[in-house]
Homo-oligomer: A and B are copies of this chain.
């Protein structure tokens, strides 16, 4: 494995190490396709995840394999790339080596693109009661909890307890929270309604709690209001200025008010991964690295950071944590590495906003593209087409389209499996990482 040895010979092919095969890292690797470099892309999973559809796995609409593709397969035909399954634990800037547990990997250029993790704003003890949605394991866990709540309600004879089992609280009125709330409502109303004998899944109460004044606050007021109307039509009860002060196995505390609910899902906060804390560079409160205009780290010109793990101000405002930002950043870094090798000056990064959208449910969405504002069915079609188009790999694109067409016409969900050897509703204990708080688009408390 020559690419794993520190470089000793004179004038070798420069080695670019990319940590993370999300949208940013993968785009950078692909943009270096024809560059005279060796690329090693390191990820702690073996797959690239199409994160915008993760909520569909959580809500049993799609299978994990529909929205994920092995990184090795995606990059199979790119000869200058090696893929490594490993977790980066730190960087030795002095020796230009990435630490992968006990292994070391030498680099000439390093691109950090490790993305974000769920943030509980300093309340990591909430995690076990209110899982977030960041990877496939999270999605399968949320799917398990939601389906188990309906199953437990079917067996429950105490009406009060049954009501709690059929109460679903989603915390955070950003895109993730809105998607989750909308799709729980649809799952209950269209999919499960026919399958239960004792309970009426349509009687399920879905509550979306937002700490700020409105949901989807990054959109224009009219689109945000349209989203609110569409959610309400689906049966979701939206509460704004709802400050969550506590979460436990019985439900959510809002100041003096208690909302009893068996299922709470956290869609509120994002923070940078633990790696950033080990870098000894300046970060914001959410642990995001503050990068230079060319996306390099201060005083480390050969090390770049992109995507959700970075704080980049443009026109005085931080760029949002969305995939187009990460992808454009990845392209910029790839271009600048090639300019370095030709001894040309680097180009500063400038984000081009091509629009934004949020989906609410079947035939329900909002979109803002250039001067065009869409709502409802047209916005949903636009969202659907774009997401299928960008899904990696023909097979996945086809499978997703088929699954969607199938559930659209039959109101059936193909991936309604409860897996994971847990029959009880008791919360799962997870390893809780050190949290860093985030100030940003999702305000909760």
Determine if A205 is an interface residue (Cβ-Cβ < 8 Å): no
Query: By the criterion CB–CB under 8 Å, are B65 and A415 in contact?
Result: yes
Name the contact of A72 in the complex, choosing from B87, B196, B395 (C-beta under 8 A): B196
Determine if A54 is an interface residue (Cβ-Cβ < 8 Å): no
Query: By the criterion CB–CB under 8 Å, are B412 and A86 in contact?
Result: no
Determine if A419 is an interface residue (Cβ-Cβ < 8 Å): yes
Residues of B within 8 A of A68 (CB): 417
Determine if A387 is an interface residue (Cβ-Cβ < 8 Å): no
Query: By the criterion CB–CB under 8 Å, are B87 and A154 in contact?
Result: no
A65 in contact with B198 given A46-B147, A419-B137, A419-B140 (CB within 8 Å): no
- How far does the alpha carbon of A140 sit from the alpha carbon of B68 in the complex, in Å? 15
Quick one: closest B residue to A67, CB to CB? Answer: B417
- How far does the alpha carbon of A324 sit from the alpha carbon of B430 in the complex, in Å? 42
Residues of B within 8 A of A47 (CB): 416-418
Query: By the criterion CB–CB under 8 Å, are B414 and A399 in contact?
Result: yes
11 A-B pairs with C-beta separation under 8 A: A1-B155, A45-B419, A46-B147, A63-B66, A65-B415, A82-B198, A85-B155, A103-B155, A136-B419, A137-B420, A399-B399
Residues of A within 8 A of B (CB): 1, 4, 44-47, 63-66, 68, 70, 72-73, 76, 82-87, 103, 136-137, 140, 147-148, 151-152, 154-155, 157, 194-198, 395-396, 398-399, 402, 406, 410, 412, 414-421, 423
Given A63-B66, A85-B152, A136-B417, 6 additional A-B pairs, CB 8 A: A1-B198, A46-B418, A64-B415, A76-B195, A103-B155, A399-B399
